[in-house]
C-alpha cells in the first residue's frame, strides 16, 4: 500500500467527512444512497490523488461530490422530473456549508472520547481492553470470558463505529437543522 | 455489485483479523489482493484503519484511570486539571441547621399543617398536573422544543401543542399541525400525544403525529407506539393498533390504515424537519396543499385537470418559486401571480 497516499488521504480528505456527509444529506434526495455516494467520491478523489495530489484537497473533494451528484441527476432526469428540485441545492457554495475549522488537539481527543462513549457496552469494553490496556485479542477473550471470534467481531464493529463517529457522524441534530434552515433561506434569496 | 456498506463490513473484518494474533503472511497476501482488486476496497480500509489508529490515542485519555475495568461513560474523559473547579463549595446540610428556631408549640402546629398540605400536594403531585406549557409555530417556522423530561418536540409549520406533565403521564395535546417527538425513556410515565379522541402512546421512541381535518397521521421511526381511539357510541369499535418503527398509520373516521415499510421510507414523511417535502407520483393538488402548509404565499389550483397531474420529487418547502418554475417547465401549466397567491392553470 502506498502509505504516503493513505496518510495524505486520512489527513486531508477523511477529516472533512462530517462536512461531506452533511452536504450529501442535505443535497441528495435518497438518504439510503448517501453511504454509496460517499464511497464513490472517495474512490474518485483517491484515484485522482494517486496521479497527482490536488492542491486544495477539500474543495477538490466537494467539487467531485457536486459533479457526481449532477451526473446522477442528469441520468435520472431522462425518466422523470424526480429530484430536479435539488440541482438548486447543489449550488450552495461549499465554504458556506462547511466553515473550515480544524479541531485542536484537545477537541480531537474529546471527539474521540465521545465516539468511544457511544459504542455499545460489550464493544466498548473490548476496545478499551485492546486499545488502552493493550491486551491481545486472546487476553481480551480470556478476561471477558468470551470467544476470540467474538472479540474479533467486536473489534470489527468498534472500528466501523469509531470511524463513523470520529470522521463524521456526530451531528448534533439541532446544529444541522439550523444550518439547513439558513441554506434554505439563502437559496430563496438567490432566485 | 457489492454495496458500499458490505465493502465497509468486509474491510472491518480484515482490520479486526489483522489486529489478532493469528495473522500471517498468507493472510497479508490475501488482504493485499483484496485491496488491489478495487479502489473502493482500498478507501474503505484506509478510512477504518485511520480511525482505528486514532483510537490508540484513547490511552492518553485513559491515563490516570488505572483502577482496572472500563470507566463509566462520560466520566473518565474529564480533564483532570478541572478537578479544582469541580470541587466548588456547596452549602452543607449542617450549616443550614444553625438558623433560628421557632417556638416548639408553633412548630408542632406548623408541622401538622405541613402534613395536611403535603398530603394535598402529594395527591396533586401524583395525579395532578405539575407543569403546563403551550408552544406554537408560525407558517414557515420550525421549532425544536426541549421538554422537561429530556424529550424533544419538533414543531412543524403552523402547529400548536400543549404539554401537561404529571406524575403519571407525560401528556401532549396536538392542537394543530404536526410535531415530531423524540421521547426520553421513562417506563413509569408513558408519553401520550392526543388529538381529539385519538391517542398515541409511547415509552421511549421517535415518532411524528399530524392532524389533517379529521384525520390523524402517525409516523414511527424508532421503537413502538400504540394508537388508541375512543370508540364513539354510534361508530364502529376502533381497536388499539400497535405501530412498530417503519409504520405510517392514518386514522380517519373510517378506521385506521397502516402502511408498514422500512424506517427509511417512514423517514421520508419527516423530511420537513430538514426543510424538504417529498412526492412520489403525487396528485399536484396534494403536493400544493403540502407546500401551502409551510408558506404564507399560497399556491392556488384553478383547474381540476391541473390538480390531477402527478408529480414526483424532493423539494425545499421554503422555495415555492423553484417548485412553480419546475411545474411550468415540465408540465402544460401556466403560473400567474395574483395578489398574495400564485394561480396555476392549464396552458
B203 within 8 A of B232, measured Cβ to Cβ: no
* Nearest CB neighbour to A191, from listed B48, B267, B321: B321
- Same domain membership, residue A149 and residue A79: no
Q: What is the CATH number of the domain that holds A135?
A: 1.10.10.10
Same domain (yes/no): A13, A92: yes
Question: For residue A118, how many other CB atoms are within 10 A of its CB?
Answer: 16
Using a CB-CB cut-off of 8 Å, the residues of chain A touching B27 are: none
CB-nearest to B16 from A17, A134, A156 is A156
User: What is the rounded average pLDDT for all residues in chain B?
Assistant: 80
Rounded distance between C-alpha atoms, residue B258 and residue B242, angstroms: 10
pLDDT at A9 over 60: yes
User: Strand B255-260 and strand B247-252: pairing?
Assistant: antiparallel
Q: Which A residues, 48 through 77, put their C-beta within 8 Å of a C-beta on chain B?
A: none
Task: Clarify whether residues B133 and B241 are in a common domain.
Answer: yes
CA B268 – CA B7 distance, rounded (Å): 26
Q: Indicate which CATH number applies to the domain containing B327.
A: 3.55.50.30
Give, in order, the Cα–Cα distances in Å from B309 to each of A20, A139, B88, B285, B332: 36, 66, 67, 8, 10
B74 belongs to a structural domain: no
- Per-residue pLDDT band at A78 (split at 50, 70, 90): very low
CA pair distance B29, B16, nearest whole angstrom: 16
Beta-strand pair B215-222/B224-229: unpaired
DSSP state string for B49-114: HHHHHHHTTHHHHHTT--SSSPPPTTTTTS-GGGHHHHT-----HHHHTTSPPPPHHHHHHHHHHH
Q: Around Cβ A6, how many Cβ atoms within 10 Å? A: 19
Same domain, A94 and A118: no
Look at the pTM and tell me if it is higher than 0.90.
no
pLDDT value at residue B111: 62
Strand partners, B178: B210
Q: Do A31 and B267 touch (CB under 8 A)?
A: yes
Please report where in the chains the cell 463513523 appears, as a residue.
Answer: A164
- Could you tell me the pLDDT band of residue B232, with boundaries at 50, 70 and 90? low
A94 lies in the same domain as A48: yes
Q: Are residue A19 and residue A41 in the same domain, yes or no?
A: yes
Cβ separation of A116 and B323 shorter than 8 Å?
Answer: no
- Minimal CA separation from A107 to chain B, in Å: 11
Q: What is the pLDDT of residue A36?
A: 92
- Give the best-scoring range by mean pLDDT among A60-74, A126-140, A151-165, B73-87: A151-165
Phi, psi of A157 (to 5 degrees): -65, -45
To the nearest whole Å, the CA of B328 is away from the closest chain A CA by 12
Question: For residue B260, what is the enclosing H or E element?
Answer: strand B255-260
Instruction: Give the separation between CA B307 and CA B290, rounded to whole angstroms.
Output: 13
Q: Which residues of B touch A159 (CB under 8 A)?
A: 12, 15-16, 48, 51-52, 55
Which residues in chain A touch residue B34, judged by CB atoms under 8 angstroms apart?
none
> Do the domain assignments include residue B147?
yes
Domain count across chain A? 2
Does A160 sit within 8 Å of B46, measured CB to CB?
A: no
Q: Which domain holds residue B301?
A: 275-346
pLDDT (average), residues B80-93: 33
A111: in domain? yes
Same domain? B213 vs B160? yes
Chain A residue numbers with beta carbons less than 8 Å from the beta carbon of B267 are 31
CA gap B31, B128 in Å, rounded: 65
Residue B55 lies in a domain: no
Q: Which three cell numbers stand for residue A93?
A: 457554495
The pLDDT tens digits of the residues spanning A15-44 come to 889 889 888 887 787 778 899 999 999 999
Please give the residue range of the domain that contains residue A151. 105-167
Check whether residue A22 and residue A98 sit in a common domain. Answer: yes
Among partner residues A88, A110, A163, which is closest to B77 by beta-carbon distance? A110
Domain-ending residue, one of A62, A82, A102: A102
Give whole-number Cα distances, B260 to A136, B249, B283, in Å: 45, 8, 22
User: A39, A152, A146, A172: which is closest to B182 by C-alpha?
Assistant: A172
Number of structural domains in chain B: 3
Q: With b meaning 16 or more CB within 10 Å and e meaning fewer, what string describes A126-147?
A: bbbbbbbbebebebbbeebebe
Amino acid at each position: 500500500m502506498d502509505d504516503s497516499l493513505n496518510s495524505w488521504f486520512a489527513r486531508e480528505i477523511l477529516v472533512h467527512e462530517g462536512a461531506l456527509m452533511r452536504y450529501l444529506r442535505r443535497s441528495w434526495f435518497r438518504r439510503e444512497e448517501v453511504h454509496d455516494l460517499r464511497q464513490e467520491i472517495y474512490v474518485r478523489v483517491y484515484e485522482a490523488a494517486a496521479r497527482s495530489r490536488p492542491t486544495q484537497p477539500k474543495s477538490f473533494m466537494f467539487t467531485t461530490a457536486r459533479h457526481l451528484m449532477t451526473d446522477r441527476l442528469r441520468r435520472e432526469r431522462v425518466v422523470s422530473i424526480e429530484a430536479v428540485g435539488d440541482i438548486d441545492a447543489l449550488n450552495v457554495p461549499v465554504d458556506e456549508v462547511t466553515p473550515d475549522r480544524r479541531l485542536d488537539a484537545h477537541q480531537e481527543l474529546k471527539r474521540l472520547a465521545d465516539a468511544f462513549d457511544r459504542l455499545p457496552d460489550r464493544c466498548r469494553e473490548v476496545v478499551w481492553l485492546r486499545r488502552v490496556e493493550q491486551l491481545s485479542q486472546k487476553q481480551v477473550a480470556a478476561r471477558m470470558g468470551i470467544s476470540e471470534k467474538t472479540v474479533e467481531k467486536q473489534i470489527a464493529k468498534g472500528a466501523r463505529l469509531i470511524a463513523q463517529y470520529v470522521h463524521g457522524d456526530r451531528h448534533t441534530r439541532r446544529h444541522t437543522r439550523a444550518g439547513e434552515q439558513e441554506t434554505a433561506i439563502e437559496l430563496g434569496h438567490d432566485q | 455489485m457489492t454495496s458500499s456498506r458490505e465493502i465497509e463490513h468486509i474491510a472491518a473484518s480484515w482490520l479486526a483479523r489483522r489486529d489478532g494474533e493469528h495473522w500471517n503472511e498468507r493472510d497479508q497476501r490475501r488482504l493485499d489482493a483484496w485491496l488491489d482488486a478495487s479502489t473502493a476496497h482500498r478507501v474503505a480500509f484506509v478510512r477504518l484503519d485511520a480511525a482505528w489508529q486514532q483510537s490508540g490515542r484513547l490511552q492518553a485519555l485513559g491515563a490516570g484511570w488505572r483502577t482496572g475495568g472500563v470507566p463509566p461513560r462520560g466520566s473518565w474523559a474529564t480533564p483532570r486539571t478541572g478537578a479544582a473547579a469541580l470541587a466548588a463549595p456547596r452549602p452543607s446540610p449542617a450549616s443550614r441547621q444553625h438558623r433560628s428556631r421557632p417556638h416548639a408549640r408553633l412548630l408542632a402546629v406548623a408541622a401538622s399543617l405541613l402534613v395536611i398540605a403535603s398530603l394535598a400536594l402529594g395527591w396533586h403531585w401524583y395525579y395532578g398536573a405539575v407543569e403546563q406549557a403551550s408552544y406554537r409555530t408560525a407558517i414557515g417556522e420550525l421549532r425544536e422544543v426541549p421538554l422537561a423530561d429530556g424529550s424533544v418536540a419538533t414543531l412543524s409549520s403552523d402547529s400548536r401543542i400543549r404539554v401537561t406533565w404529571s406524575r403519571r403521564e407525560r401528556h401532549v395535546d396536538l392542537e394543530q399541525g404536526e410535531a415530531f417527538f423524540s421521547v426520553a425513556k421513562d417506563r413509569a410515565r408513558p408519553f401520550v400525544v392526543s388529538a381529539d379522541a385519538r391517542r398515541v402512546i409511547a415509552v421511549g421512541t421517535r415518532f411524528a403525529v399530524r392532524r389533517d381535518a379529521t384525520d390523524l397521521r402517525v409516523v414511527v421511526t424508532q421503537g413502538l407506539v400504540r394508537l388508541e381511539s375512543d370508540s364513539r357510541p354510534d361508530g364502529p369499535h376502533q381497536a388499539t393498533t400497535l405501530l412498530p418503527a417503519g409504520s405510517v398509520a392514518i386514522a380517519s373516521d373510517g378506521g385506521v390504515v397502516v402502511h408498514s415499510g422500512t424506517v427509511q421510507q417512514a423517514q421520508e414523511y419527516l423530511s420537513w424537519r430538514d426543510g424538504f417535502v417529498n412526492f412520489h407520483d403525487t396528485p399536484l393538488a396534494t403536493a400544493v396543499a403540502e407546500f401551502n402548509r409551510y408558506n404564507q404565499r399560497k399556491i392556488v389550483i384553478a383547474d381540476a385537470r391541473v390538480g390531477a397531474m402527478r408529480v414526483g420529487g424532493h423539494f425545499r418547502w421554503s422555495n415555492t418559486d423553484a417548485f412553480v418554475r419546475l411545474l411550468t417547465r415540465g408540465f402544460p401549466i401556466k403560473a400567474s401571480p395574483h395578489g398574495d397567491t400564485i394561480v396555476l392553470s392549464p396552458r
